[in-house]
Structure 1
Amino acid sequence: TKMTLLLLCLGLTLICAQEEENNAVTSNFDLSKISGEWYSVLLVSDCREKIEEDGSMRVFVEHIDYLGDSSLTFKLHEIENGTCTEINLACKPTEKNAIYKGRNVVDILETDYDNYIYFYNKNFKNGETFLLLELYGRERFVKYCEEHGIVKENIFDLTKDHCAIHKYASLS
Structure 2
Amino acid sequence: MKLLLLCLGLTLVCAHHEDNHDVVTSNFDMSKISGEWYSILLNSNVKEIIEEQGIMRMFVESVQALDNSSLSLKYHKKINGECAELTFICDETEEEGVYSVSYDGYNKIHIVEADYNDYVIFYFLNYQNGEITQGMDLYGRVFSC
Q: Same fold (TM over 0.5)?
A: yes
> Do the aligned partners of 1:122 and 1:132 also contact (CA within 8 Å) in 2?
yes
Q: In the aligned structure 1, how far is the partner of 2:18 from the partner of 2:98?
A: 30
- Which secondary structure does the structure 2 equivalent of 1:32 belong to? helix
Runs (4+) of structure 1 moved beyond 2 Å?
Answer: none
Q: In the aligned structure 2, how far is the partner of 1:69 from the partner of 1:115?
A: 25
Task: Look up the match of 1:3.
Answer: none
Task: Look up the match of 1:100.
Answer: 100
Gaps of 5+ in 1: 1-13, 139-157, 161-172
Task: Look up the match of 1:78.
Answer: 77
Q: In the aligned structure 1, how far is the partner of 2:50 from the partner of 2:133?
A: 11
Q: Which structure would you say has the larger Rg?
A: 1
Percent identity of paired positions between Structure 1 and Structure 2: 46
Q: In the aligned structure 2, how far is the partner of 1:159 from the partner of 1:46?
A: 24
Structure 1 vs Structure 2 CA RMSD = 2.0
Matches within 5 A, 1:115-130: 115-130=118-133
Task: Look up the match of 1:34.
Answer: 33
Q: Which has the higher strand share?
A: 2
- Which secondary structure does the structure 2 equivalent of 1:18 belong to? coil
Gaps of 5+ in 2: 1-12
Deviations 1:105-144 (A, max 9, x none): 0000000111100000000011111001000018xxxxxx
TM-score (norm. length: structure 1)? 0.69
Q: In the aligned structure 1, how far is the partner of 2:116 from the partner of 2:101?
A: 22
Paired residue total:
127
